[in-house]
Each structure stands twice: as structure tokens, then as C-alpha cells.
């Protein structure tokens, strides 16, 4: 009976078994890595690294189909990953256009009496304003109460869309007491109302009351901001007074939630 320690067949068999065991462990590790990569958290993390590395210099992400194929995952898992990055303010979505890398949020301090265009310019951004409609309407109850008028009183209503660097970020409805601003609807309403008040009517803000509430964007605002109705937004209501502390107007601002940072130092 020979010595098994010197049996070349036994030695080769042990080597073969060891190699098979190592290969099995390696395959298991590969499977685990693939499973991990397919989780929404892992995809979000990997995609964030690519964004921070400047891979998408044009500012637009590949289509969901292309990203799903790149990460070997389902569209459902991918959308969950994109939703995580959207919640962090890293990317944003526009209807029928896709996903984009989010620019820096606009810093908004309600205590400063700076208007939209000046605020954007101070932060190195470019602001534009589009007038959607401007007419005289009967004030509904909430507007009448804000302006301290009787329900149904005649007020100016100016609806505008405002953009930062070409991106729609704010839909706003301005309600004005016409007693203070005769003929205002004939003016260029794409400009700053703050400047118009001062230059034509000698009216400057002497005080304001702000209400800031997160909530779903209504149907009147969402399409202008390229999002679906019910998408998260920020509603800022501002009631303004003149130098004599008389209420002169009321603004209802609907912001994309990922476009604004409210920063107040008192």
C-alpha cells in the first residue's frame, strides 16, 4: 500500500478542488456585487459620482432606457434611484424632456427688499420674465381679505412665469389694488414691479408679511414649470405695504421646490 502523501493523483485532485472552491467564491462575490449594483441606493451613488466627475457636461442625463441598460437594471429600480437624487436636489425632471443636472438653488431672503431680477443678478444668474396674462378681475374672498377689500372688488391680476438661466422656476400671480396704480396694465410688465412702483407711482415697500408653505403644485402652475400637477413645490404668499403701511398688493408665488433656498438672518 503506497504513501498517499506522495500520490501525484491525490495531489492534483486537491489542487483541482482548491481551485474550484476559489472560483466558486469568486463567482459568488461577483453575483453579490451585481445584485448590489442593481439596488437603487447603489445606482444612485454610482450615478452621483459620474455627475460630480463632470461626465454629463451638457447638463442632461441620458434617457432612462440608456441608463437602465448601462446599469443592467429595470426601469422601476432606475426611477427609484433617480428619485433619490432628485430628493437630494442633485437632478430634476421636466415633462417630456427627461432628467437634468440641477443648477445651484437661488438664495432667497424675504427680509431683503430686492426684486427677482436683482436677486438673480447678485448671485451671477440671469433672470427673465414672461407675462402670461394681465387683466382686471373680481377679487375672490382670500385675495379681497389680503388686500383689505370687499369680496368681489375689482383688482389687477398679473400672471407671470419667471426663469433663471432659461429654466422655469417660478409661477406667480400678482393681485394689486388699482387705487394705487392707475394705468399700470398699460406698462411693460416683464420688468420689475418694484422698480415700476417706485419710478412711476413713487411707491416703495414699507413692510411685508410672508407665509411659506411646502405643498403640491396646482394645475394652474405645474404645466408652466414643466412638471406634473401635484409635484412638490413651495408656495410663498407675500402681502406688501407702502410707506404709509397701506396694503397695496398680494403675491402668490409657486416655486419648484428644487430651485430655491430660503435663507434668513435676523
Return the top range by mean pLDDT from 61-75, 85-99, 171-185, 250-264: 171-185
> Right CATH number for 106-262 from 3.60.20.10, 1.10.10.1590, 3.40.50.300, 3.40.1410.10?
3.40.1410.10
Identify whether the C-beta of residue 50 lies closer than 8 Å to the C-beta of residue 81. Answer: no
Nearest CA to 217 among 263, 262, 183, 168?
A: 168
pLDDT at 15: 46
Task: State what percent of residues in the chain have pLDDT above 90.
Answer: 60
Q: Which residue has the higher pLDDT, 41 or 189?
A: 189
Whole-angstrom distance, CA of residue 170 vs CA of residue 219: 14
Whole-angstrom distance, CA of residue 91 vs CA of residue 101: 4
Q: Which residue has the higher pLDDT, 26 or 132?
A: 132
Q: Where are the domains of the chain?
A: 8-101, 106-262
Q: For residue 108, list its beta bridge partners.
A: 262
pLDDT at 54: 86
Query: What DSSP string runs through 58-94?
Result: TSBPPPHHHHHHHTT--HHHHHHHHHHHHHTTSEEEE
- The band of 31, judged by pLDDT with boundaries at 50, 70 and 90, is low
pLDDT at 236: 95
The conformation of residue 191, written as its DSSP 8-state character, comes to S
Average pLDDT, the chain: 86
pLDDT in tens, 146-204: 999 999 999 999 999 999 999 999 999 999 999 999 999 999 999 999 999 999 999 99
- The band of 38, judged by pLDDT with boundaries at 50, 70 and 90, is low
Helix (H, G, I), strand (E, B) or coil at 40: helix
| Burial group, residue 235, by CB count within 10 angstroms (0-12, 13-18, 19+) | middle
Q: Inform me whether the pLDDT recorded for 14 exceeds 80.
A: no
- The domain 8-101 having CATH identifier 3.60.20.10: the answer here is no
pLDDT in tens, 120-131: 999 999 999 999
Mean pLDDT throughout 78-93? 88
Amino acid at each position: 500500500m503506497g504513501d498517499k502523501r506522495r500520490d501525484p493523483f491525490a495531489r492534483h485532485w486537491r489542487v483541482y478542488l482548491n481551485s474550484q472552491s476559489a472560483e466558486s467564491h469568486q463567482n459568488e462575490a461577483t453575483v453579490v456585487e451585481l445584485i448590489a449594483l442593481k439596488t437603487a441606493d447603489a445606482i444612485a451613488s454610482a450615478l452621483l459620482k459620474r455627475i460630480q466627475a463632470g461626465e454629463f457636461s451638457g447638463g442632461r442625463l441620458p434617457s432612462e432606457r440608456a441608463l437602465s441598460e448601462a446599469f443592467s437594471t429595470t426601469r422601476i429600480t432606475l426611477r427609484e434611484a433617480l428619485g433619490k437624487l432628485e430628493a437630494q436636489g442633485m437632478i430634476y425632471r421636466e415633462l417630456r424632456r427627461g432628467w437634468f443636472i440641477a443648477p445651484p438653488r437661488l438664495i432667497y431672503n424675504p427680509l431683503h427688499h430686492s426684486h427677482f431680477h436683482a436677486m438673480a443678478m447678485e448671485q451671477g444668474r440671469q433672470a427673465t420674465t414672461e407675462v402670461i396674462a394681465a387683466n382686471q378681475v373680481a377679487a375672490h374672498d382670500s385675495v379681497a381679505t389680503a388686500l383689505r377689500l370687499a369680496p368681489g372688488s375689482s383688482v389687477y391680476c398679473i400672471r407671470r412665469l419667471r426663469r433663471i438661466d432659461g429654466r422655469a422656476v417660478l409661477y406667480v400671480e400678482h393681485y394689486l389694488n388699482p387705487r394705487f396704480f392707475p394705468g399700470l396694465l398699460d406698462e411693460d410688465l416683464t420688468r420689475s414691479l418694484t422698480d415700476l412702483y417706485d419710478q412711476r407711482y413713487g411707491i416703495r415697500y414699507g413692510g411685508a408679511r410672508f407665509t411659506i408653505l411646502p405643498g403640491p403644485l396646482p394645475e394652474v402652475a405645474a404645466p408652466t414649470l414643466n412638471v406634473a400637477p401635484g409635484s412638490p413645490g413651495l408656495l410663498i404668499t407675500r402681502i406688501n405695504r407702502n410707506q404709509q403701511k397701506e396694503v397695496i398688493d398680494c403675491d402668490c408665488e409657486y416655486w419648484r421646490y428644487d430651485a430655491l433656498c430660503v435663507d434668513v438672518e435676523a
